[in-house]
Structures are given as structure tokens and as C-alpha cells.
Amino acid sequence: MAEPLRIALAGLGTVGTGVIRLIDTNREMIAARAGRPIEVVAITARDRGKDRGIDLSSYVWVDDMHAMAKRADVDVVLELVGGSDGPALTLAREALEAGKGFVTANKAMVAHHGLELAELAAIRNAPFAFEAAVAGGIPVVKSLREGTAANALTRIYGILNGTSNYILSEMERTGADFDEMLQAAQDQGFAEADPAFDIGGIDAAHKLAILAAIGFGTRIDFDAVRTEGITKVSASDIAQADALGYVVRLVGIASLFGEGDDRRLLQRVRPCLVPFRHPLAAVTGPTNAVVAEGDFSGRLLFQGAGAGDKPTASAVVADLIDIARGQSGAPFSVPSGALVQCVPADPGDRVGRDYLRFTVADRTGVLAELTAAMRDANVSIESLIQHGRDKDGGEVQVAMVTHDGPENCVSKALELLEGSPNLTAPPLVMPILKD
């Protein structure tokens, strides 16, 4: 058999130990498929003495992570440390500068620095791969880079954060409020001690920016992703959505507007109302799902575990097998120099239906004020639900669903209502996902 592909592994946490287990468990099958063995020749993490639940005594431990990139016996540096900058980024630059292959599961780093790293990889003619950075075990990076390569994609969207999806679908199942279900997610190990990136939509935004670059051939633009998390979604929003025929999901959506040089890209992560009949409505718990719409392929749905040691290791090792086979293409589907700079679209240009929830004082004339603002802003209302007085009295919730219309009309209506003494809390707007 051919010479092994030699890996230096930085990071021995959830994913790093998962990779060691996977390579151990499926060693012969992997070698057969890769055409050569894949061998871990050096490992590192912060704490050498930590019990990681696996026997690491046969591996060479390197104290200085950055020395890995310089080792002559290493072909590929595998970064499973995390963090958008800091040691992970330094290691990425060192590895690629040294002409080593570089594989990572680090979505934050790829979203912020992926373009720079792809350029460096091209200069050094070194493979750079990050399948595990998006949607854990789902091979969606490869599917968009290769499987849909013949298509013009118009829209890529999906449920890209398992923690948020677990919280929202558990709120739906139990009727409980956000805080209670966040605690449950933490107790079950689905949410970090600091869940800010997950529930704030940032983690999903990292993944969306990566998918948009691959799917549309555009320069990655994380700063242009408009992000809103799930913290404002209440149990009553979920109940009202249900009564109207929807579930609430945190959805990342990247869509292209216009043609040719006039193409504009809208990237957004926010809670959406998803019709019961849409395949994303059935995605519950920590599962991820990605939908890609191609001009010839039609709608494609990819679904599976978005995180966890085993699924994520599966994606990491798939990248290593590709490199072992000599099959690593352009990381973002076209050479980095050919990626197009796409102007961000104005979100007001979106035409669609929205769910609006108002918390208002329970007095005469309030409904008339809301509907007058809608009329004056040219927003057409499809349905309206008013819930009775809550147990403290004095406040009611009014939920509306609009007909198809430009989003800037809804923004105009909200501007008209700004400062109204009848509104006792800021309104919540959630778009209704188009079929």
C-alpha cells in the first residue's frame, strides 16, 4: 500500500477524541477507501495530564502546538481547538505557509478568515478543507461544492444550530417558555455554559456565510449576515404560530437578487414561521437541515446530526480521505481569485409574508391604531388573533399575519407605531418561510 497520510492533531476535546476513535475503529476500511493509511503522528492539547477517556499512550505528544506545522513527518495539520482568532488562526497560517494540508471544523475561523486561508492554500498549493465546520455530520460542503456544481443556486437555507432548534422544538412540545427550555438544553448537554453564540444566531451565521460563499461562488462576507436570535420568541408566539399552521424555527437564509453584475446577496439568520407541510417543520431536537435550490436540481434537502463527537469526526475524516486520495478541490468551489464580491441586498426588498406580534394595553382603540398603521404603510393583513387579558390584567397580545408584500412596508408600519403609548413591549416580527 502507498505511503500513509500523516496527521498532526491539535485539540483533543469532543471532536479531537472522536477523530482518534473513528480512525482507530475504521482503520482498514478508511485505508482501503483512501488508497493509503491515515496515521496520526502527533497530538496536542492544553493539558497533557487530562483524562480524555481514550488511551493516547501510543501517540507522540507535542507540547508546542505551533511546532506541529514545522515537523517534516507531517502532511496535514488538523485543527480542532476552536476560536475565530488566536492559536487556531496562527496554526492555520503556519501550516499552510509550510505547505502542509490544513483541515478544520472551526466555523468561526472559516467565516472570518476563510478567504485569506483559501488564498494562502492556493499560493502554497496545499489542501484546505472544512467539511465539519458546517452542520456537523451532514456532508453539505461537499454536496454544494461537487454535487450541485452544475446548477445556478438561487437560495440556500436551513436549520444550522442544533441548540436553538432543540429549544424551539421543546418549547413547541411542552408549551414551556424560553428560559426553562434553555436550562433543559444545558442539562441535556445540548447547550454550552455560555450559549450566547447559539441562541443569538451567531453560530448559524458563521455556517450560513460559509454555505453562501460555496453555493454562490461569492467572497465570504460574514459581516453582512443580519442576525437575530431566539431569545424574544415566547411560548405564546409558538402557540399562535401553531394555531395558524406553522412552527417556529431559527432559519439561516441566503438568497440572490438580481442578475449578472447587479446580483445582490441577502444573508439572514432569524426565527421564522415554517408551514407544517414544509420539510423543515419536521426537523426537531438538535438536528440540522440544509435546503439548496438549484435551477436544474430543484429543491434538495440534507438532514442529520449537526454536532457531536461521532458525526463531526465523520466529516473531518472524510476531508482527510479526500486529501489522501489527492482529491481536494477549491475550498469555496471556485478558485479564491474567482470568487465574486457581491453587494449585500437591502432587506427591505424582500417580498414575503410576515408574522407580527404586538403586546399592547388592553383598551379601546388599540386594534384600530394597529390596523390603521398597517393600512397607511400598505401592509395587507391576512389574519389577526387577539388573545384575552393575561392574568395580571392590562396587557394583551395581538398577532397578525400579512399577505405577500415588500418588507419595507412592514418596517414603515412599525415606524408609524413607534412611541405609541399603547405598545407595552417592542413588537416581534418573524418572516413566514416561502415553500
Ligand X SMILES: NC(=O)c1ccc[n+]([C@@H]2O[C@H](COP(=O)([O-])OP(=O)(O)OC[C@H]3O[C@@H](n4cnc5c(N)ncnc54)[C@H](OP(=O)(O)O)[C@@H]3O)[C@@H](O)[C@H]2O)c1
Q: Which residues are identified as catalytic?
A: 207
Nearer to ligand X (CB atom), residue 132 or residue 339: 132
If binding is defined by CB under 6 A, does position 15 make contact with ligand X?
Answer: yes
If binding is defined by CB under 6 A, does position 13 make contact with ligand X?
Answer: yes
* Residue 10 annotated as binding site: yes
Nearer to ligand X (CB atom), residue 19 or residue 291: 19
Residue 336 phi, psi dihedral angles, 5° rounding: -55, -35
Residues contacting ligand X: total by CB under 6 A: 25
Nearer to ligand X (CB atom), residue 87 or residue 344: 87
CA gap 312, 309 in Å, rounded? 6
Q: Which of 6, 41, 82, 207 binds ligand X (CB under 6 A)?
A: 82
The stretch among 44-52, 145-153, 252-260, 327-335 that binds ligand X (CB under 6 A) is 44-52
Residue 293 phi, psi dihedral angles, 5° rounding: -110, 115
CA gap 43, 24 in Å, rounded? 15
Q: Report whether 81 contacts 10 (CB < 8 A).
A: yes
Please state the closest distance from residue 137 (CB atom) to ligand X, in A. Answer: 9
Amino acid found at 273: L
Q: Report whether 142 contacts 131 (CB < 8 A).
A: yes
If binding is defined by CB under 6 A, does position 44 make contact with ligand X?
Answer: yes
If binding is defined by CB under 6 A, does position 132 make contact with ligand X?
Answer: yes
Please state the closest distance from residue 196 (CB atom) to ligand X, in A. Answer: 14
Print the SS3 string covering 276-287: CCCHHHHCCCCE
Q: Which of 9, 12, 126, 266 binds ligand X (CB under 6 A)?
A: 12
* Residue 16 annotated as binding site: yes
All three cell numbers of 424, joined, read 407595552
Question: Any idea which residue has 392574568 for its cell?
Answer: 391
CA gap 205, 375 in Å, rounded? 34
Amino acid found at 322: D
Q: Which of 96, 290, 292, 307 binds ligand X (CB under 6 A)?
A: 307
Q: Which of 1, 28, 47, 259 binds ligand X (CB under 6 A)?
A: 47
Burial of 242 (C-beta count, 10 Å sphere; 0-12/13-18/19+) = middle
Q: Which of 50, 299, 363, 387 binds ligand X (CB under 6 A)?
A: 50
Nearer to ligand X (CB atom), residue 79 or residue 293: 79
Q: Report whether 130 contacts 332 (CB < 8 A).
A: no
CA gap 10, 132 in Å, rounded? 15
If binding is defined by CB under 6 A, does position 117 make contact with ligand X?
Answer: no
The stretch among 101-109, 145-153, 170-178, 364-372 that binds ligand X (CB under 6 A) is 101-109
Burial of 235 (C-beta count, 10 Å sphere; 0-12/13-18/19+) = middle
If binding is defined by CB under 6 A, does position 105 make contact with ligand X?
Answer: yes
* Terminal alpha carbon distance of the chain: 50
Please state the closest distance from residue 23 (CB atom) to ligand X, in A. Answer: 15
Q: Report whether 213 contacts 220 (CB < 8 A).
A: yes
**Per-residue binding letters, 51-70, with ligand X (x by CB under 6 A):** --------------x-----
Q: Which residues are annotated as a binding site for NADPH?
A: 107
Q: Which residues bind ligand X (CB under 6 A)?
A: 10-16, 44-47, 50, 65, 80-82, 87, 105-107, 132, 136, 307-308, 312
Binding-site entries: 10-17, 107, 192
Residue numbers belonging to the annotated binding site for L-homoserine: 192
